[in-house]
């Protein structure tokens, strides 16, 4: 029997809090859904997260578990969960309690009205986040908005997707995925519900500065070719500048006022060299995306599965 609601929870090294999270999700699902399932995707955790999921599955009939063979990253874990979910609507949420399970009834009831295919929880407050983390997040969204045109400031992965949206997501086979951007790109009817980010139940965020930079690079190169056009724009600007400088230099020479310009030459070489290197770097990012796509390797590999009894 197809469940009404599936909840997908990608986790990585969440052994300390996964038990509390799943109990809370189960409690609120029981209140708002006639039939349901919880799909937990262990993204190659190095702690006892999978052992906790295995233990809980014995007493939680609606729990299903997927264990990836290694750490493929959150975006891949999200794809694995959405591929496995069977519900008429699928809720994606984090496993650290920063996405409050108490919001589940509101998401489900809003979806049942039939007015939206996507019900997304938008951050009204980032909670007790450090100034450094808030700055990193703002920089990430600023870069994404500037280069891709998608304004995802305040957006989160806490969303309810109608089955039609999930099926559309499954048809997109690219390996480099950015869930929030792809959902926004699809253009289904969307409504937003504000929520306040809760404190993590245990541990620290797994996102590093390098991880956010890499995610930003994937997001921008996956959704926009503007950086490539930017190289052309810079080239035209420098060409115009070189023409003006050339005319000025010839004039100074003919007028007999030319002076030694060693400093100017060095500065020009540095500017042009840096611009060329940046341009090659941008092209390299796109080539890297193409290289990864043409290999057609799977986004993830499932090594173990815990299928719960069908409800």
Model pTM above 0.95: no
What's the pLDDT at 151?
62
- Longest CA span, the chain: 92
Q: What is the pLDDT of residues 33-76, one digit of tens each?
A: 989 999 999 999 999 999 999 999 888 989 999 999 999 989 99
Concatenating the DSSP letter of every residue in 98-128 gives: SS-GGGHHHHHHHHHTTS-SEEEEEEEE-TT
Q: What is the pLDDT of residues 193-209, one digit of tens each?
A: 999 888 877 766 655 66
What's the pLDDT at 128?
61
Average pLDDT over residues 99-119: 95
CB atoms within 10 A of CB 249: 13
For residues 222, 226, 227, 231, the Cα torsion angle rounded to the nearest 10 degrees is 150
What's the pLDDT at 308?
46
* 32 confidence band (pLDDT: 50, 70, 90): very high
The helix (H) or strand (E) run that includes residue 219 is helix 209-223
What's the pLDDT at 191?
95
Instruction: Quote the mean pLDDT of the chain.
Output: 84
Average pLDDT over residues 82-94: 95
Average pLDDT over residues 226-251: 78
Nearest to 164 by CA among 237, 89, 106: 89
The strand order across the sheet containing 118-125 reads 190-196, 118-125, 159-162, 89-92, 5-11, 36-42, 63-68, 302-306
* 163 confidence band (pLDDT: 50, 70, 90): very high
Using an 8 Å Cβ cutoff, are 75 and 179 in contact? Answer: yes
Backbone angles phi, psi at 114, to 5 degrees: 80, 10
Of 246 and 71, the one with more pLDDT: 71
* Percentage of the chain lying above the pLDDT 70 cut: 83
Average pLDDT over residues 279-287: 85
| 85 CB-near residues (< 8 Å, 6+ apart) | 6, 8, 37, 39, 166
* 150 confidence band (pLDDT: 50, 70, 90): low
């Amino acid at each position: 029997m197809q469940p009404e609601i599936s909840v997908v929870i990608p986790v990585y090294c969440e052994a300390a809090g996964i038990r509390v999270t799943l109990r809370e999700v189960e409690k609120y699902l029981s209140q708002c859904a006639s039939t349901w399932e919880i799909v937990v995707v262990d993204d190659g955790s190095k702690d006892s997260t999978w052992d906790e999921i295995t233990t809980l599955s014995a007493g939680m009939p609606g729990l299903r578990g997927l264990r990836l063979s290694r750490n493929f990253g959150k975006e891949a874990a999200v794809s694995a969960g959405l591929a496995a979910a069977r519900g008429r609507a699928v809720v994606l949420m984090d496993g650290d309690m920063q996405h409050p399970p108490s919001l589940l009834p509101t998401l489900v009831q809003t979806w049942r009205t039939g007015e939206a295919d996507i019900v997304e929880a938008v951050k009204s407050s980032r909670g007790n986040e450090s100034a450094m983390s808030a700055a990193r997040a703002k920089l990430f969204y600023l870069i994404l908005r500037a280069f891709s045109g998608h304004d995802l400031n305040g957006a989160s992965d806490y969303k309810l997707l109608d089955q039609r949206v999930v099926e559309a997501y499954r048809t997109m086979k690219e390996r480099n995925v950015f869930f929030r951007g792809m959902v926004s790109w699809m253009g289904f009817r969307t409504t937003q519900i504000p929520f306040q980010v809760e404190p993590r139940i245990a541990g620290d965020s797994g996102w590093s500065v390098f991880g956010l930079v890499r995610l930003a690079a994937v997001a921008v190169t996956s959704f926009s070719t503007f950086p490539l056009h930017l190289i052309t724009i810079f080239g035209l600007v420098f060409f115009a500048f070189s023409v003006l400088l050339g005319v000025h230099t010839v004039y100074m020479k003919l007028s007999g006022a030319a002076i030694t310009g060693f400093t100017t030459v060095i500065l020009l070489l540095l500017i042009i060299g840096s611009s060329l290197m940046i341009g090659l770097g941008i092209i390299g990012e796109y080539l890297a995306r193409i290289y990864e796509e043409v290999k057609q390797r799977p986004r993830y590999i499932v090594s173990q599965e815990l299928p719960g009894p069908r409800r």
